[in-house]
Amino acid sequence: MPPKKRSQLQAKRTQREKKRHYQTNPMESKTTRGRERDYEKMPAEKRTRFEAEQRPLACGSDHSTIDIRQSTISNMTEQAIRDLLESVRGGRQSIDEAVARLRAMPFEDLGFAKVDHHRSLRCGFPEVIYCEGKSTAQVAEIFAACARSGVNVIATRAKREVFDAVATKHAKAEFNEAARTITLRQQEKVPSCGTIAVVCAGTSDLPVAEEARVTCEIMDQTTATFYDVGVAGIHRLLAHAAQLQSASVAIVIAGMEGALASVVGGLVDCPVIAVPTSVGYGASFGGVAALLAMLNSCASGVTVVNIDNGFGAGYAASLINRRCRTPKT
């Protein structure tokens, strides 16, 4: 084959490979693609800068490379993105510099965990740390990575020794013994318009109820608690009927036969999130009896989360309550 023909075929093959690459990596910017095509024409100084921007962040225990770019991955809130775009529009930062900053935005690789700094931008609240199954050192390092971004942080299913490790670097962190949560508030609270009612059947259900309440409050939601108002003494619940009816969302926590969710569902005109707990004797099957009862509720507007999942209920209720525009009367 003539050299010219061979060169043309090689160029076409390279073009096809690049096309397949960008089809499987759609998040890469067009700016990067254009600069890559022009790589061979770049002056030496510009080529060196281009190569530096393509290097991935360092992983593992040595975070020296990550620290260089710490400002690129921290505080990835909607306001931070707006500030970045304003700096480009105002000429204080070039498009290429902005692209370089955004490239590191989605997560920070700690080696054993990838901290999702982008989640608050996508979902409205930062990544939450589930402590069970992680070592104390791992939780402490993940907590520190989340805290560096300046957002509110919550860790669930935490033990006292985990909190002690976190508190050595974050003196303002708080531990709720009943809820087994660690929270760190770094942003000013903006009170919600509506109120979330946290209704708990018995004192034995308090750990789950407290986990739900703490979750709601770190997400800036106003809560009202109604504890120990189970159906065995229904008058205790009915005494708060007017207050319950003023709530925008109700979280109902109950073990045993789980009947409380249906009763509350029949009293209020707001969404009810039912949380079955593992409280009960043998035939409760660790909360399965309450779960099935809640799933089969005849009250309209009752949805159910997993057994003992106070966090899940609190998070869902907070998302619903954020849609509230005017308080109920």
Quick: pLDDT tens for 34-60: 545 555 556 655 555 555 444 433 333
At 5, the pLDDT band (50, 70, 90 cuts) reads confident
Position 64 scores a pLDDT of 34
Q: How far apart, in whole angstroms, are the C-alpha atoms of residue 282 and residue 264?
A: 26
Q: Is the pLDDT of residue 93 over 90?
A: no
Dihedral class, residue 267 (left if φ above 0, else alpha if ψ from -120 to 50, else beta): alpha
Provide the residue ranges of all domains of the chain, joining segments of one domain with +.
Answer: 56-188, 195-321
Q: What is the pTM of this model?
A: 0.70
The answer to whether domain 195-321 has CATH 3.40.50.80 is no
Q: How many residues does the chain have?
A: 329
In the chain, % of residues over pLDDT 70: 78
Q: How confident is the model at residue 67 (pLDDT cuts 50, 70, 90)?
A: very low
Angle between helices 95-103 and 30-37 (to 10 degrees): 110
pLDDT of residue 211: 97
Where are the alpha helices (H) located in the chain, listed in sequence order? 3-24, 30-37, 44-54, 64-68, 70-73, 78-89, 95-103, 119-123, 136-148, 160-167, 206-218, 234-238, 241-245, 260-265, 288-295, 310-321
Q: Pick the residue with more confidence: 232 or 100?
A: 232
**Residue 174 φ then ψ, to 5°:** -120, 145
| Rounded Cα–Cα distance for residues 4 and 16 (Å) | 19
pLDDT at residue 12 tops 60:
yes
